[in-house]
Structure 1
Amino acid sequence: MPDSLRITAAETDPQLLTLPWSTRLEDWPAQHIVKLPKGISRHIVRFSELSGQVIAVKETTAEMAQREYDMLGALAKLDVPCVRRVAVIAGRHTPQGAPLPAALVTAHLKFSMPYRALFTHSLRPDTATRLVDALALLLVRLHNVGFYWGDVSLSNTLFRRDAGAFAAYLVDAETGELHEDGLSDGQRDHDLDLARTNIAGEILDLAASGRVEGVDPVAVADGIVSAYRGLWSAIHDEQTFSVSEVWRITERVRHLNELGFDIDEMSIETEASGTRVSIQPKVVDAGHHTRRLIRLTGLDVEENQARRLLNDLDEFRLRAGRSEEEEELAAHEWLTQVFEPVVRAIPFELRGKLEPAEVYHQVLEHRWFLQEQREASVPLAEVLTSYIRDVLSHRRDEATIMGPLTETLTAPIGTRSPEVDWRDLV
């Protein structure tokens, strides 16, 4: 290992030194490669193992690697959904002394999927819409903290299941800029125009390979514009109403909470005549339901999953006769008497198929389906047995295919997964 090798890392991991940094990334030996689907990238990217987790390694210049490493760190502090930075490896040389590109190392996001992995066989219109909606929300969150992406696309995003929808995570931040004073309308519009152009091109590329049926690439791309503008308007537009309609303040807050946002401050102004009131949110943070669920139960899940679990928790509280003042007590009872027993009931060999929160969401969906079918209530134990037998046991193992090992899996990291029909995952 050359003495000039320089490692920048938030946490020291001696195993970083065991990877073959003196070899070009495209020539890394098979024992250091983990087989995972990846998106399109202008750089060479490989997946490898590091201390029991899967990492993504990207070759680039030392300056760009350090810049992106710093940017990912800044975004993480702002609680923006993005991949976690691990290290920058600079000063690489071959055994003969020839210089090699620097490498940016990030942690692979468990249970995540690049968009092309979803469409190996065919792109469904509803799936395309859900992906675009997830990307629109991510872009709103990025712009809200003053981040100009500069390369918005499906390829630069990873997607995780979120209670029937998808949650989007930023992967590539090398073109991004963080502006403390916020973004201008022109910067936001430019990012949005890039998103529309890139998405249309990506869908057209899928069409050229025969994987698009009944999908209009331009309409899908236009969808991000309307979804983005609707969200941005709901968060930032000023609202004016008469003094007799002050209930609209509560309505505005509730609507933003339903969209997953919290309000830290609200600006309220009244006219001199006292007949009109104007309100405008000042500081808005995403993750309203996620934060509430963490506070009550300690469960850290995606936003839609949190909303679904909270609805079930609230129903449990009402059935148990707990008042709103006893919410924390009811949450503890729900966690220990309902959620955890369902998760523990999943057979060991099936626990790598979906995340616990997604499993619980699907159990609730399955209960609704059975009750609609029978037109009668169905005990949760019977629902769970039916779900495991008729649904979960037939799913592909997403943890094995899509991400690093969890404690529920027994195959060693790097074991190649069987061939997958990706339609089973959509």
Structure 2
Amino acid sequence: MTSSHGLTALHLRQGHPDFLDLPWHLPLGDWNPKVCSRLVEVPRGLSRHTVVFVSYGTDIYALKELPVPVGQREYDVLRGLEDRRLPAVTAVGFARMRVPGEPKDETGVLLTQYLPSSLPYRVLFMNKGLERYRERLLDAMASLLVRLHLGGFYWGDCSLSNVLFRRDAGELQAYAVDAETSELHAKLSDGQRNLDLMIMEENVTGGLADLAAMVELPHTLDVYETARSIRQRYERLWSETHKEISISARESYRIHERIRALNELGFSVSEVDLVASGDGSQLRMRTIVTDREYHRHQLHNLTGLVAEERQAALILNEIREVKATLTRELNRSVPLSVAAFRWMDDRFRPTMSQLERELGPAIDEAELYCQVLEHKWFLSERAKKDVGLKVAVKGYVALRREQPALALLRSASAPLPTVVTEASVSTEAAMDTPSEEAEDEEADTAASQVPVPVPSGGGAR
């Protein structure tokens, strides 16, 4: 085996390991912990190819074995998706292995970076701690297809198995995983989009039918209606991004209203086209939408933080609260950038430092912070007033200590997530601070009276 197999070429991008310590003299199907100590198990979907996962420090990489031309093409497409900032896994390299019997006695291995905190759809249905996310899968799939199609990406094999989902402040964000049959264009035709949607409907129906034979699906996710519902959601979202409206010369404010409405949906607008219609008394307005990362861009520009779209929107709301407070205290208008600076110093950094001391390092700080914000919402609702961030952090830490670590705080050596959904707030959770002793005690008592769901994401209601 050693003499007939082996690595013949390896193309890698900067910033990643060289992978030369892997057992390339064996086909991927023969890799096991005895020959490769770097092998790890992670939640995975179905694949027609052999796939293994290896760990280098805190980073995990997926290696997929497939024919050389197919693998090289998929590597190029994934790089193109990254260049266009579209939601997909990151390609880090491509290898060629000598395998007698394969075309030209070679096979390819595509190397991609594993998406932290991501879950395949089967885990969403087979793990009882993730029920709240099942229906959100439909919106995530529809949103993913809209974003990809806006970016000129024809998938050709959209299915539940070819998507990974990440929790995003109570919702899901979807990422393309497989691009073997995909194409990148400057712009997709309606025919290409419709064909992609037809393939999606067929594949999603088949995937849910297979899953229904293994587990009981929720009644809201019918095997034969779910794919149609995804398409309907896609059509509504696509129509919203491409809608043209008529305005008069005196209604310039409607331009800003339209842009703001798209921003609230998370879409960034790069251009606005205004074209005279009829007798010239009316203008047709068309917006050019680029991506669905408006809040991500805004938060990153203000703070440097990298977050998912809904996480960013939730955090920006809190920054605006800080801005309003500062404006009232100083009796003058305060720029959002100043409020963001104060938020980082007064709220985000102290909170994350405390959580790291109490619970260990977080793999997704933005999502963890959003969980704390949702817990604050629960406690405030019970106390009938805003309990404050300090009380929320104490209560959240208490909940986490009562239960196994969530996937968000997993270590690289234990990548399989364990997710739980319910617990009661312990009255021993919060230690009073001298300056807020009475307020903290009152909030903790209110919180301990009712079981509170452990937030798997924040603030989406």
The two structures have a TM-score, normalised by structure 1, of: 0.89
CA deviations 1:331-352 (Å, max 9, x no partner) are: 1111111111111111446345
Within 2, Cα distance between the matches of 1:161 and 1:152?
20
Within 1, Cα distance between the matches of 2:249 and 2:375?
46
CA 1:124–1:109 in structure 2 vs 1: closer, same or farther (change >3 Å)?
closer
Moved more, 56-65 or 83-92: 83-92
Structure 2 letter corresponding to 1:49? S
Within 2, Cα distance between the matches of 1:366 and 1:51?
31
1:213 equivalent in structure 2: 218
The answer to whether 1:183 aligns with 2:183 is: no
Within 1, Cα distance between the matches of 2:370 and 2:196?
34
2:81 equivalent in structure 1: 75
Within 1, Cα distance between the matches of 2:94 and 2:126?
32
Which one of the candidate residues 200, 206, 209 is aligned to 2:205? 200
**2:153 touches 2:188 (CA, 8 Å); kept in 1?**
yes
The answer to whether 1:153 aligns with 2:159 is: yes
Structure 1 letter corresponding to 2:200? A
Moved more, 136-145 or 85-94: 85-94
Note the 1:239-388 alignment, pairs <5 A.
239-271=245-277, 273-321=279-327, 326-348=335-357, 350-351=359-360, 355-388=364-397
CA 1:333–1:123 in structure 2 vs 1: closer, same or farther (change >3 Å)?
closer
2:10 equivalent in structure 1: 7
Structure 2 letter corresponding to 1:103? V
Structure 1 letter corresponding to 2:406? D
2:40 equivalent in structure 1: 34
Matched-pair identity in %: 37
**1:124 touches 1:212 (CA, 8 Å); kept in 2?**
no
C-alpha displacement of 1:283: 4.5
Within 2, Cα distance between the matches of 1:228 and 1:26?
38
CA 1:26–1:423 in structure 2 vs 1: closer, same or farther (change >3 Å)?
farther
Within 2, Cα distance between the matches of 1:223 and 1:352?
39
Moved more, 29-38 or 57-66: 29-38
CA 1:334–1:151 in structure 2 vs 1: closer, same or farther (change >3 Å)?
same
**2:169 touches 2:314 (CA, 8 Å); kept in 1?**
yes
Within 1, Cα distance between the matches of 2:95 and 2:341?
45
Within 2, Cα distance between the matches of 1:122 and 1:387?
21
The answer to whether 1:167 aligns with 2:170 is: no
Note the 1:85-104 alignment, pairs <5 A.
85-93=91-99, 99=105, 101-104=107-110
2:27 equivalent in structure 1: 24
Within 2, Cα distance between the matches of 1:213 and 1:160?
20
2:443 equivalent in structure 1: none
Within 1, Cα distance between the matches of 2:285 and 2:415?
56
CA 1:12–1:238 in structure 2 vs 1: closer, same or farther (change >3 Å)?
closer
Structure 2 letter corresponding to 1:375? K
Moved more, 276-285 or 60-69: 276-285
CA 1:313–1:60 in structure 2 vs 1: closer, same or farther (change >3 Å)?
same
Within 2, Cα distance between the matches of 1:45 and 1:369?
42
Within 2, Cα distance between the matches of 1:116 and 1:107?
20
Within 2, Cα distance between the matches of 1:116 and 1:66?
28
C-alpha displacement of 1:376: 2.0
2:426 equivalent in structure 1: none
Within 1, Cα distance between the matches of 2:127 and 2:6?
48
Moved more, 121-130 or 274-283: 121-130
CA 1:311–1:273 in structure 2 vs 1: closer, same or farther (change >3 Å)?
same
C-alpha displacement of 1:245: 3.8
Moved more, 271-280 or 15-24: 271-280
**1:243 touches 1:274 (CA, 8 Å); kept in 2?**
no
CA deviations 1:284-329 (Å, max 9, x no partner) are: 3321100010000000100000000000000111111276652212
C-alpha displacement of 1:206: 1.6
Within 2, Cα distance between the matches of 1:12 and 1:376?
48
Question: What number of residue pairs does the alignment pair up?
Answer: 411
1:225 equivalent in structure 2: 231
CA 1:52–1:386 in structure 2 vs 1: closer, same or farther (change >3 Å)?
closer
The two structures have a TM-score, normalised by structure 2, of: 0.82
C-alpha displacement of 1:377: 2.4
Moved more, 328-337 or 374-383: 374-383
Structure 2 letter corresponding to 1:11? Q
CA deviations 1:51-74 (Å, max 9, x no partner) are: 652110000011111111111111
Moved more, 339-348 or 168-177: 339-348
C-alpha displacement of 1:223: 2.0
**1:353 touches 1:395 (CA, 8 Å); kept in 2?**
no
**1:15 touches 1:51 (CA, 8 Å); kept in 2?**
no
**1:363 touches 1:384 (CA, 8 Å); kept in 2?**
yes
CA RMSD in angstroms comes to 2.6
| Structure 2 gap ranges (5+) | 423-455
CA 1:216–1:82 in structure 2 vs 1: closer, same or farther (change >3 Å)?
same
CA deviations 1:249-303 (Å, max 9, x no partner) are: 1211011101111111100123353432210013533211000100000001000
Within 2, Cα distance between the matches of 1:239 and 1:250?
13
Which one of the candidate residues 120, 144, 166 is aligned to 2:126? 120
C-alpha displacement of 1:162: 0.5
Moved over 4 A (4+): 1-4, 121-126, 322-325, 415-418, 420-426
